[in-house]
Homo-oligomer: A and B are copies of this chain.
């Protein structure tokens, strides 16, 4: 059987209460050093390990934080997981990963199997976040909403894409692009900040917007789908001379498609992607992209969560983090 604090207590002829106090390092309670030592030694000797379920039941805190994401496949989510895991570890928390996109049936808020966590970091997942926030406050844990699609009704760290997108588009215009298409998922939201910025910029520069829809959303086959899309367009509609891609996966696929067709990048077609994933640097023609401040986002999110634990009643706090346009060879050519 597992050793419990009572076993340890018996060993040193003390009450389990004292053992609990020692093992929890309660310096606020006067206990002679000799006693402490004896307890610690006995605990070690017996191989005592705390039972967090019991502790959680007694304290109401679990030491676990959940990361909500919808589809862990997008390359930058691995980065987010690493960052968040690091934050959690440093704070002696455990991290549970919940891929909500794959969740069958109802959203997480009425999924009874969800572990009782002390807090939630949600990357995107706007629908689930909204549903969760609709629960009575007594039934919720603190939730920090992160990402491009964040929710400002709770603590949040927003990734702002509008400025960088505008910059990217002006850049494309400045190198002489006259027909810039937006390559994004078929079911793209009308109020996606990239799309909004795109439409505004096109209007302002009096160019016709052109949406190119990649079927199938952004899953692992995105690159292949984008590649095919480009090849199809080449045959049917002809190609634009500039591509703003909704994300780097799409950009990489599109780039590949162009290479297959023998189209030169950036000379014939200039490309800009979005997300700043590492792969974009290692193509023969490194892709221009929009870099996301992921590390800062995760840091801030953890800070907000800690703050919420410390002051449950504090008013909502949010941070806006601007993304940054990173011009690279795929869109650099002599100005028109």
Contact = CB atoms under 8 A, between A and B. Distances in A.
Interface of A: 1-2, 47, 49-54, 56-57, 62-64, 72-73, 75, 77-78, 81-82, 85-86, 89, 92, 94-99, 102-103, 112-116, 135-136, 138-139, 220, 223, 252-253, 255-256, 259, 278-279, 281-284
Given A86-B99, A96-B95, A99-B86, A51 B116 contact: yes
B81 A116 contact: no
Given A77-B78, A94-B96, A282-B252, A47 B136 contact: yes
Contacts of A97: 81, 85, 95-97
Given A49-B112, A92-B113, A139 B2 contact: yes
A52 B112 CA distance: 9
In the assembly, how many copies of this chain are there? Answer: 2
A269 B253 CA distance: 26
16 contacts: A47-B136, A47-B139, A51-B116, A52-B113, A53-B54, A62-B115, A75-B78, A85-B98, A86-B99, A94-B98, A94-B114, A95-B96, A223-B281, A223-B282, A252-B282, A253-B282
A293 B278 CA distance: 24
B64 A73 contact: no
B1 A138 contact: yes
Given A51-B116, A64-B115, 14 more contacts: A1-B138, A52-B115, A63-B115, A78-B78, A78-B81, A81-B97, A86-B99, A86-B102, A89-B99, A94-B98, A94-B113, A223-B281, A223-B282, A255-B282
A86 B220 CA distance: 15
Given A56-B53, A283-B282, A82 B99 contact: yes
Nearest to A113: B92
A139 B49 contact: yes
A139 B44 CA distance: 13
Contacts of A284: 259, 283-284
A85 B72 contact: yes
A163 to B, nearest CB: 26
Nearest to A259: B284
B102 A89 contact: yes
A191 B112 CA distance: 47
A75 B220 CA distance: 13
Contact of A115 (B94, B112, B252): B94
Nearest to A75: B78
A98 B56 CA distance: 20
B278 A220 contact: yes
A57, A63, A253 interface centre (most CB from chain B within 10 Å): A57
Contact of A51 (B57, B81, B85): B57
A72 B62 contact: no
Nearest to A92: B113
Nearest to A69: B85
A113 B53 CA distance: 11
